[in-house]
Amino acid sequence: MAQPWNEFRDPSIARSLREEIRSIELDRPATLMEVCGGQTHTIYKYRLREMLPPSVRLVSGPGCPVCVTPISYIDQAVHLAGIPDVDLFTFGDLLRVPGTHLNLEQARARGGKVHVVYSPRTALEYARSHPKSQVVFLGIGFETTIPSFALALREAIDHQVGNFSVLLSAKRVPPVLEALLAGDAPLDGFITPGHVTSILGSEVYSRLTLRYRVPMVVGGFEPVDLLVAIRDLLLLLARGESVSGNAYPRAVKPEGNPKARRLIEDIFVPRHEELRGLGTIPDAGYGLREEFTGYDAARRFPFDGLESREPRGCRCGQVLTGSIEPSGCPLFGKACTPDHPIGACMVSSEGTCNAAFLHGESP
């Protein structure tokens, strides 16, 4: 049978990488963080942790966009769903993320017009064909998805689609990594996210590696991709080199995707952003440029968020910073499951708790 990704799932390549990894001599244990939720899923699914020596520990990072979105955002979206003229458009991931009182699926069951789409363009088309409706797109994502928000906004601006707006929670990976490095989590190296870096370019982390003396290697999403990234990181650690590397060259170029970045910069400017578990981080998000703020749903439909509060007992914040494993949360697998999620990390297909629940159980 044809297996297009065979090479990157080849068990014999994986085994030889495992041997290489085991032969690298480190003078102390190493804790590596995989930043992206997609990588976390592969690590759990292929049980890559079991292939590493005990001195190498993998922890999962904050790279699940839905998970790091604060609960006040969900509450604001639920609030919007309750406004009679509003049609809300979202990616499917967000639907069951708990708000303080309701999630969007429950808001829809109560009569809110919540549509699941695969692209913000679908929301824009709806806005153009339904001029009496207020169309709001829920713009949650990292640099991978932000260009698609920019493209839809560009079109809305050019065609003056006045009934279209975006509720933004757009995050930037490098400032989030810097916040982690500036904190007290003992992290020795990072597997940086392949898709995000295909936009930003592999050079983007050089300033961080230099300043914080931590190596960073771009990782893909297949098991062999990740084992190569882990090997490269350990080799850099063994040699004491704090530089950035690229173990995903088939998708990530040093210069990244300048066209997509220009698209982002035309529409957005960096702003302080609140992330679950990390607090407010300087420049970690994007807001609309001053001249385009008419398309900002947060301005069009003010909401104070004063009643928002995280679910009691939920430790998503610590899971997102790699401070605890999902099993370290007292709710994990008991009160909080994919059927009845309490925290965002259990809902999203990129969430660490979701990965640990689906694939983490030892047979």
Instruction: Find the length of the chain.
Output: 363
Nearer CB in complex with other proteins: 159/340? 340
CB of 221 to other proteins, least distance (A): 9
Closer to other proteins by Cβ: residue 124 or 237: 124
**Cα–Cα distance, 363 to 307 (Å, whole number):** 43
Shortest separation between residue 8's beta carbon and other proteins, angstroms = 11
Rounded to 5 degrees, what are φ and ψ at 104? -70, -30
Residue 168: which of 120, 106, 105, 110 has the closest Cα?
Answer: 120
Is residue 71 within 8 Å of 309, Cβ to Cβ? yes
Tell me how far, at minimum, the Cβ of 147 lies from other proteins, in Å: 12
| Amino acid, res. 272 | H
* Interacting residues with other proteins (CB under 8 A): 1-5, 9-11, 14, 36-38, 41, 44-47, 50-51, 63-66, 91-96, 117-119, 121-122, 140-142, 144-145, 195-196, 223, 337-339, 348-350, 357-359, 361-363
Using an 8 Å Cβ cutoff, are 231 and 20 in contact?
A: yes
Q: CB of residue 300 vs other proteins: minimum separation in angstroms?
A: 23
- Nearer to other proteins by Cβ, of 121 and 289: the residue is 121
Task: Assign 137 to helix, strand or coil.
Answer: strand
Strands 189-193 and 279-288: unpaired
Residue with Cβ nearer other proteins (236 or 331): 331
Q: Which two tokens stand for residue 261?
A: 């970045």
Cα separation values, 51 from 19, 137, 270, 315, Å: 9, 42, 40, 28
Q: What is the nearest approach in angstroms of other proteins to the Cβ of residue 200?
A: 14
Closest CB to other proteins among 4 and 302? Answer: 4
CB of 47 to other proteins, least distance (A): 5
Question: In angstroms, rounded to a whole number, what is the distance separating the alpha carbons of residues 215 and 237?
Answer: 7
- Pick the closer one to other proteins by CB: 177 or 214: 177
